[in-house]
Chain A
Amino acid sequence: QKEVEQNSGPLSVPEGAIASLNCTYSDRGSQSFFWYRQYSGKSPELIMSIYSNGDKEDGRFTAQLNKASQYVSLLIRDSQPSDSATYLCAVLTDKLIFGTGTRLQVFP
């Protein structure tokens, strides 16, 4: 079982819709959770971090954490074509482990 799992996608959504990206993790002791955005050919960029159960909002982005169910999600409201990228989930246990990413395509 992979330690951090993401659906590879692509996830295709129309412009203006809500994109929902999901991530599950295996270590119940995980304490810190991150979402990175990576455009093709570029480096990962940190967009959200979350440390406690519940929702955390930042602009059009909302991160949701449920430790009991061991999942973390990222919602992107009013999706734009510029949001088209690969989104990486990362979970901190004794080390930072990345998922393989979900490719998001937002079409006009």
Chain B
Amino acid sequence: EAQVTQNPRYLITVTGKKLTVTCSQNMNHEYMSWYRQDPGLGLRQIYYSMNVEVTDKGDVPEGYKVSRKEKRNFPLILESPSPNQTSLYFCASSLSRAHGYTFGSGTRLTVV
């Protein structure tokens, strides 16, 4: 089944404790992206990647890192999480920028 797999689905952590949210797609998509979704603010892009070893900042990149060492994987790293990073995170992939995204199931992160 074609899908984007994110893990974990739920995560509660403490301020400053490094964490990684994994994302993997099995569709051989070139384009991958991370979004956060907050009430009233909608989906905001954190980082995106157009191909292996090519990443760029989205609208809200502060406090996040990403890497794209393999085509299928695009992990999101929070080096020192803070409470304002409490949010619902989605990984998404597409064949190209002009195609629609396939979204992962989401990761609900709470930073206390």
A residues whose Cβ falls under 8 Å from a Cβ of B: 31-32, 34, 36, 42-46, 49, 51, 88, 90, 92, 95-96, 98-101
Q: What 0/1 pattern do residues 58 to 98 of B give for CB contact below 8 A with A?
A: 11000000000000000000000000000000100000011
Shortest distance between the CB of A11 and any CB in chain B (Å):
17
Known: A31-B98, A42-B105. 20 other contacts (CB 8 A): A32-B97, A34-B100, A43-B90, A43-B103, A43-B105, A44-B90, A45-B103, A46-B100, A49-B99, A92-B98, A95-B48, A95-B58, A95-B59, A96-B33, A96-B97, A98-B42, A99-B42, A100-B40, A100-B41, A101-B42
- A88 & B97 in contact (Cβ 8 Å cutoff): no
Chain B interface size, under 10 / 10 to 19 / 20 to 34 / 35 or more: 20 to 34
* Complex contact A43–B43 (CB within 8 A): no
Is the pair B106, A49 in contact by a Cβ cutoff of 8 Å? no
CB distance from B10 to the nearest CB of A (A): 11
| B102 in the interface (beta carbon within 8 A) | yes
Q: Are A32 and B41 in contact (CB under 8 A)?
A: no
Q: Is the interface of B mostly helix, strand, loop or mixed?
A: loop
Interface assignment of B45: CB less than 8 Å from any CB of chain A: yes
Closest to B48 in A: A95
Listed in ascending order, the chain B residues whose CB lies under 8 Å from chain A are 33, 35, 40-43, 45, 48, 58-59, 90, 97-106
Q: Contact: B43 with A44, CB < 8 Å?
A: yes
Flag if A44 contacts B42 (CB, 8 Å): no
A20 to chain B, nearest CB (A): 20
| Complex A-B, nearest 6 residue pairs according to Cβ-Cβ distance, in ascending order | A100-B42, A46-B100, A43-B103, A98-B43, A34-B100, A44-B103
Query: What residue in chain B is nearest A48 (Cβ atoms)?
Result: B100
- Give the CA-CA distance A95 to B102 in the complex, in Å: 16
Give complex CA distance A44, B105 in Å. 9
